[in-house]
Structure 1
């Protein structure tokens, strides 16, 4: 008996994290309170429907919640929102349990045809063996064919009292409307980063693993809101850790993200207009074997954080941005140096460039062209570029690598001499002998009385 217990303990230790820490009750489900609270209330009041539809992104807890609902329905004290955890049904339906004969899980991706639906319909009328209800959990329900749904329609519409259906799908719009209208639909959501970070930290502490706090934002970001994906990534980092624990540099290298120091270098170079530093950073990215599109995506994420920080100065303290404590001062300084208009313009350029880099034959060239556009706000005449130029002028950050073209100095102006009247050649000639000289108009006429 002791050997069996020891073997069970070793098996649980070797389980993947997303299986080892799968929730067993609705109270343990994280980030889905908008679903778990109504379900708990329905179980408490006894208003239980015969069919449920759980929809949402992958890895957000749909199948786990379906198993918890089945556990709550078949508990010896049930239906109850808090299963006892010790009865035969609760033990069988626990995350590490062997399963129950009265709870049938069907993967519709491989069993979604009309023949499978007819077989289910024939077996559904048999009473449960040990539990209160016979429960069908149909995963990937959108993969059931039109004919399969039609074969199930009458059963889902008017099931026997002992039968319950729980459909789980990532694409609820593909479930035919006649089925959807007969279910209670509960949409699941991606887990918020703050909740996911808290969960990963608790798991690492429970596992007794040392870790660099800067690793957690990387893991949460790589998981993209999916609890299963996040714990799978954390499990991979945990498997590759040594006595020093999970280190930031190894996590960055394994996940393919750009080191924060390299992002700091290129953002500071953009703010100073230092083209040489920008292209040196790009060269380091290529020489380090990083993917240019991955680097551009990381730059866009950094600019997004700086835009939020420039717009909301207390974004870090209020939790709007999830930033490690040792990065607060550096990001605040970068946001104040760059300016909101310049940051927004840079983000728009990189976002447009990312679309062009998809499938490009020369991603490095496109990355360098994007950087050149960010460096030269004077090359564009749109409003965002003009604001960026004004911000740069006001901050005194003159682009040393790309100085503005100087205008040629104007030539010294020469004041023309006043034009002289052209002399009449006849007037310039001396008077002939004996001829009277013409009267000078400037002199008064001679008085004849004096002659």
Structure 2
């Protein structure tokens, strides 16, 4: 027997979620003030027919008037859950007996007295299917029935019952059962059945039931039938009911927060390739956005029960909500809601779903007030990030180009006559030379270790925010030091973020060592401070997946793609190749590729170590001139620059012509 039949309530106390109906009926039964006709309306599976049977059972109980049937008398046993039924309680399906002839037949039989019970009760299910002629044939009987006759009409569409019938009944509207009440009921039922129900699976079952007890129990019955030793798990419920897994929804929401269109469309492709319904995916995404909107507007929504989310997902939802503005979330939910209407009956659901995602990613293309407010949200969040992470009393990790002349007013100028304080600041003074650095011009790494490092507010700046703003950070680095910009744009990527420590992945150990020795971490830290605010610490690790990027516009000539994959062993030069003639300022280039000698490499690295150990202040302008061959090469060739800066040796070149 199905679950919804095995657990059909036998008393009003067992009916869940309908106290606004069951309590007045119990009081009417106990006070013996029962009307001759009732109209029970509401969605399917909410207990209308069940309550009608309980009402008939209580009316004919031998202990009546009583609020709940005793369950012991013959009438109560006949009308019990597995009982044979009573001849005096007649259920009529109006879907197949709603004509005028059926109504006339009922009218003729209604005047006969009950056989064994106190009342003859007619339960007319699906009453909205009775025709107008049938209702008119019953009108006089319903208006003035004999004392032993009771009518109970049950319908899902009370507006289709003609007004003359409705006006002669007591109308009790049934409602959908709240999710919390239904979840508690399912937990108790699982314990009774001895089946393990995973906490994360119950919301899916309740959602599939749509608030209908009968539909929910049917879904649960199906899941229990197909469950294994672990019981009803989240994976089983999501797969069988067709819902989008939480992991995929998290991936999409994180991609929207970071503005990562590639990840968003990859998730859409995953939805289609796995055979999921794009419309169901849009519904699940709208449900997730609804949760985020509530959390964004009510920070303690989860703790006070506004959202029914298991504890292990609560922190994840709060973190996602903190990465959006309220206007952004509302606009995204509106876009998905409108897209759901377009997806109904669409011939190309994937295309429409991708267009919905594109609208969410591009608030700048939305000229409506919602789109403008979404853009303002992004700007305010950026400003809030900078304001929360910055410390006014904490010095910057390294002096920038704009702050370099600042120590000049502090040094007393040897003048013969006194001058007011503003005078030295108004007169442009030359930048301090490396020979006499100001006291604050210590190496960037030393300054970072000596000063206290504030920790950004948790949840304010995430790794997704840094990745989204990475192009702006690189622009800042390019203005500070070209060498660092070339290394970061071609050989590096953002790896992770912990507090105020940003980890950069470089393509190999040589690039990592060069990044650390050249003070590029201080340059990147200064750029992060300019863009994000606060004080940042930069660490570099080896990450082979960081390879890639475009060659800088004024960088070295492009080389064939196979040059980087040549083995270190010496190989014969290509046929017909001739060595390039040496210049006066550059050593001759060998005619065939061979590795530099160990002594040359050691000498180059020693030079780098001596340069990096030199206690000079970090001056962006000076480093830009020294590290950018396009600005000042001191008469050195590109081979000497590569050898001196990177410890590299040019193997071969291809002429531009």
TM-score band, normalised by the shorter chain? 0.7 to 0.9
Who is 2:101 aligned against? 115
Runs of 4+ off more than 6 Å: 401-404
* 1:161 paired residue among 136, 147, 155: 147
CA 1:403 to 1:137, structure 2 compared with 1: closer, same or farther past 3 Å?
farther
CA 1:102 to 1:403, structure 2 compared with 1: closer, same or farther past 3 Å?
farther
What is the DSSP-based 3-state SS (H/G/I as helix, E as strand, rest coil) of the residue aligned with 1:137? strand
Who is 1:375 aligned against? 361
CA contact (8 A) 1:273 1:398 kept: no
TM-score (normalised: structure 1): 0.85
Structure 2: state its 5+ residue gaps. Answer: 383-464, 476-657
What is the DSSP-based 3-state SS (H/G/I as helix, E as strand, rest coil) of the residue aligned with 1:109? coil
Structure 2 CA distance, aligned partners of 1:203 and 1:166? Answer: 30
CA 1:97 to 1:127, structure 2 compared with 1: closer, same or farther past 3 Å?
same
Structure 1 CA distance, aligned partners of 2:373 and 2:169? Answer: 54
Deviations 1:291-314 (A, max 9, x none): 111101110010011101111111
Who is 2:340 aligned against? 354
CA 1:199 to 1:79, structure 2 compared with 1: closer, same or farther past 3 Å?
same
Structure 1 CA distance, aligned partners of 2:369 and 2:470? Answer: 21
Question: Bigger CA drift: 185-194 or 382-391?
Answer: 382-391
Who is 1:71 aligned against? 57
Structure 1 CA distance, aligned partners of 2:367 and 2:135? Answer: 58
Report the RMSD for the aligned CA atoms in angstroms: 1.6
1:398 deviation in Å? 7.4
1:399 deviation in Å? 8.1
Structure 2 CA distance, aligned partners of 1:300 and 1:138? Answer: 39
Task: Give runs of aligned pairs for residues 249-328 of structure 1, distance below 5 A.
Answer: 249-328=235-314
Structure 2 CA distance, aligned partners of 1:105 and 1:380? Answer: 58
1:392 deviation in Å? 2.2
Structure 2 CA distance, aligned partners of 1:85 and 1:325? Answer: 42
* Equivalent residues, number: 391
Who is 1:171 aligned against? 157
Structure 2 CA distance, aligned partners of 1:210 and 1:191? Answer: 23
* 2:215 paired residue among 229, 234, 246: 229
What is the DSSP-based 3-state SS (H/G/I as helix, E as strand, rest coil) of the residue aligned with 1:338? coil
Who is 1:24 aligned against? 10
What is the DSSP-based 3-state SS (H/G/I as helix, E as strand, rest coil) of the residue aligned with 2:152? strand
Who is 1:102 aligned against? 88
1:354 deviation in Å? 1.1
Who is 1:446 aligned against? none
Who is 2:228 aligned against? 242
TM-score (normalised: structure 2): 0.58
CA contact (8 A) 2:113 2:120 kept: yes
Structure 1: state its 5+ residue gaps. Answer: 1-14, 407-451
What is the DSSP-based 3-state SS (H/G/I as helix, E as strand, rest coil) of the residue aligned with 1:84? coil
1:229 deviation in Å? 0.5
What is the DSSP-based 3-state SS (H/G/I as helix, E as strand, rest coil) of the residue aligned with 2:204? helix
Q: Are 2:185 and 1:218 aligned?
A: no
What is the DSSP-based 3-state SS (H/G/I as helix, E as strand, rest coil) of the residue aligned with 1:54? strand
* 2:38 paired residue among 38, 52, 65: 52
Structure 2 CA distance, aligned partners of 1:22 and 1:150? Answer: 34
Structure 2 CA distance, aligned partners of 1:325 and 1:99? Answer: 47
CA contact (8 A) 2:251 2:267 kept: yes
1:36 deviation in Å? 0.6
